[in-house]
Amino acid sequence: SQQGEEDPQALSIQEGENATMNCSYKTSINNLQWYRQNSGRGLVHLILIRSNEREKHSGRLRVTLDTSKKSSSLLITASRAADTASYFCATAGGGFKTIFGAGTRLFVKA
Amino acid sequence: DGGITQSPKYLFRKEGQNVTLSCEQNLNHDAMYWYRQDPGQGLRLIYYSQIVNDFQKGDIAEGYSVSREKKESFPLTVTSAQKNPTAFYLCASNPPGLHGNTIYFGEGSWLTVV
């Protein structure tokens, strides 16, 4: 069962613009993670935000978490063509399983 | 350097055949996972293992089997009972922890039924 739902499903922007992706989830969580997947490759971990955190930064990435709305957003600033990939949110609640959403496909045009 | 190795990268299966996908990790992680990804879709959990000689069914275990005889290895067998096996398969691992830890992925294996 999928818990996280990303929005939009696909996003096309020009190089240099900012890209914002959203994730909504249904149950309580311990943390939320964002992953990146280049076409035909494995997923790579980008950032983890814990349920008691509201915002986290890593380089050009900014993640926010609103547990009252059960939502998170990933902002990529000053996008580059190399940022073209699919981005997934993943939630970990009490227990063992981490559940992935369906992903947002980002296209950054040079 | 440490990581997860999946093989083969591409595999073709004839109708009625069983095939096995290999997954080896040298990260010393206790937990290992197999996910299935269909084109343009998210990941669905097939099986997971928290410790050697123990594994649990995920959300879509029917038609698949696994073993965990060694900490480093978690092979996935796609049996003939899996009616629609064409997909991208991802193996992953992470260190133990009840609250969710970073998951490390292999590069994936493409399986196609011919």
For residue A2, the model assigns a pLDDT of: 46
**pLDDT band at residue A32, thresholds of 50, 70 and 90?**
very high
Residue of A nearest to B60 (CA): A1
CB atoms within 10 A of CB B23: 24
Q: How far is A39 from chain B (nearest CA, A)?
A: 10
CB contact under 8 A, A41 and B98: no
In angstroms, rounded to a whole number, what is the distance separating the alpha carbons of residues A43 and B4?
A: 12
Between B98 and A99, residue with greater pLDDT: A99
For residue B83, the model assigns a pLDDT of: 86
For residue B88, the model assigns a pLDDT of: 97
Q: Mean pLDDT over all residues of chain B?
A: 92
Mean pLDDT of the B35-61 span: 93
For residue B54, the model assigns a pLDDT of: 94
| Residue B28 backbone class (left: φ over 0; alpha: ψ -120 to 50; beta: rest) | left
Which of A44, A65, A97 to mutate: most B Cβ within 10 Å?
Answer: A97
CB contact under 8 A, A98 and B105: no
For residue A7, the model assigns a pLDDT of: 87
Burial of A100 (0-12, 13-18, 19+ CB in 10 A): buried
For residue B33, the model assigns a pLDDT of: 94
Q: How far is A100 from chain B (nearest CA, A)?
A: 6
Q: Which tens digit of pLDDT belongs to each residue from A45-100?
A: 999 999 999 999 999 999 999 999 999 999 999 999 999 999 999 987 656 678 88
Residue A1 in this model has a pLDDT that exceeds 60: no
* A22 to A10, A90, B3, B79: CA distances (angstroms): 11, 12, 30, 37
CB atoms within 10 A of CB A4: 26
Mean pLDDT of the B23-34 span: 94
What are the residues of chain A with a beta carbon less than 8 Å away from any beta carbon of chain B?
A: 1-2, 29-31, 33, 35, 40-45, 48, 88, 90-103, 105
Partners of A89 in beta bridges: A34
For residue B100, the model assigns a pLDDT of: 65
Between B94 and A46, residue with greater pLDDT: A46
**pLDDT band at residue B97, thresholds of 50, 70 and 90?**
low
